[in-house]
Amino acid sequence: MTNVTLISGDGIGPEIAEATRRCIDATGAGIKWDLAEAGLDVMEREGTPLPEATVESIRRNGIALKAPITTPVGTGFRSINVHLRQAFDLYACLRPCKSYKGVRSRYSDIDLVIVRENTEDLYAGIEFEKGKDDTLELIAWLNQRSKRQIKPDAGVSIKPISVAGTKRIMRYAFDYARKMGRKKVTSVHKANIMKFSDGLWLEVSRQVAKDFPDIEFEDRIVDNMCMQLVQKPELYDVIVLPNLYGDILSDLCAGLVGGLGVAPGANIGLKAAIFEATHGSAPKYKGQNKVNPTALILSGVLMLRHLGKTPEADKLESAVATVIAEGKNVTYDMKPNRDDPTAVGTREMADAIIAKMK
């Protein structure tokens, strides 16, 4: 048996977590679930949205499947998702974007994977607020040393890109490509303008690529990449990006293959990996057995692949693909008309997927 922490989250989380657990169990993958809580529901009972027992469970098992968690606006509690990424140094964010027959989309032949660096860049959270003493001091220091002058009423966000941070995400992208039988890695940047951050990213990309002669390597400037993805997405395979471009392009690519309902994801580090859907906790649908469990189930497929349980992953992915292609036992969002009375609930869609694996 393989121990996996299952975090049921809040909002629609518990319903899709249960559907996913049942589907994974039906593959015969031999997962022993370590049930853990996080989010608003446990906050009300225990006074913290992320109990230590949950963190300890992830530490012990090294693998977690996590349903969405609400980040309430203006209450002061930080995003648990961000907290977990930092606590476990989950430096690689993996977002496969694949066309499935039956999912409405303008494109039909996409099978690409976004690998986003998760810890550096403008997203690192190193910020200086307009008008504060530290900010004014920083601006004065920079203005003394640079020909370019920053206005004194500016806010400043810092963009660190390091050799070590770039090297590990590049190695992750190439290792992933090799392990998954993929052919090409595309490194995305704006090195023509940001020479010392994105320029360094590109230089390290090229160095790492030399260690993987069996995988084709190319680079693209981020604005060109956006146009290319909209015009000929089928040309791309594994795309590796710094944090901010990765954030934006992973939503762009989710849009290419039919949106958040079918977009799985994972955040991976050396000591832990957390698998989760890209969408949030959709609180308005809580407890209604209505929403689509596909994104979390496909995150479960990613998890099985990560664990080396390839036959079980193939079996589950193919069952999901068949149910979606048939278009009968699917939730409201996958029907051509959202008010279609033949749409089934979360539980029933999972039942249909399980039935395909028998």
What residues line the site for ligand NAD (CB under 6 A)? 68-71, 81, 260-261, 276, 279-282, 284, 291-292, 295, 333
Instruction: Evaluate whether 236 touches 186 at the Cβ level (below 8 Å).
Output: yes
Could you tell me how far CA 143 lies from the centroid of its own chain?
A: 38
Residue nearest to ligand NAD (CB): 280
Largest CA distance in the chain: 71
Beta carbon of residue 213, minimum distance to ligand NAD (angstroms, whole number)? 37
First CA to last CA distance, the chain: 21
Catalytic residue among 123, 172, 236, 332: 123
Respond yes or no: is residue 223 known to be catalytic: yes
Between residues 83 and 171, which has the closer beta carbon with respect to ligand NAD?
Answer: 83
Respond yes or no: is residue 284 known to be catalytic: no
Alpha carbon distances (Å) from 102 to 237, 278, 301, 346 = 22, 20, 19, 17
Beta carbon of residue 260, minimum distance to ligand NAD (angstroms, whole number)? 5
Between residues 117 and 247, which has the closer beta carbon with respect to ligand NAD?
Answer: 247
Between residues 82 and 154, which has the closer beta carbon with respect to ligand NAD?
Answer: 82
Q: Give the DSSP H/E element, type plus range, for residue 223.
A: helix 222-231
Between residues 40 and 170, which has the closer beta carbon with respect to ligand NAD?
Answer: 40
Between residues 297 and 321, which has the closer beta carbon with respect to ligand NAD?
Answer: 297
Handedness of CA 35, 40, 45, 47 (dihedral sign): positive
Catalytic residue among 195, 223, 232, 328: 223
| Strand bridging mode 184-189 / 216-221 | parallel
Between residues 14 and 280, which has the closer beta carbon with respect to ligand NAD?
Answer: 280
210/212 Cα distance (integer angstroms): 5
Between residues 75 and 157, which has the closer beta carbon with respect to ligand NAD?
Answer: 75
Q: List the one residue out of 240, 234, 238 whose CA is nearest residue 215.
A: 238
Contacts of 263 (CB under 8 A, 6+ apart): 95, 97, 254, 257, 277, 278, 279, 295, 298
Catalytic residue among 66, 98, 190, 286: 190
- Which tokens belong to 102? 């039956």
Beta carbon of residue 261, minimum distance to ligand NAD (angstroms, whole number)? 5
- Residue at 30: amino acid letter: G
Respond yes or no: is residue 247 known to be catalytic: yes
CA dihedral 317, 321, 323, 324 (to 10 degrees): 130
| 304 SS3 class | helix
Beta carbon of residue 39, minimum distance to ligand NAD (angstroms, whole number)? 8
Go through the chain and tell me how many residues it has.
358
Catalytic residue among 121, 237, 247, 333: 247
**Residues with active-site annotation:** 123, 190, 223, 247
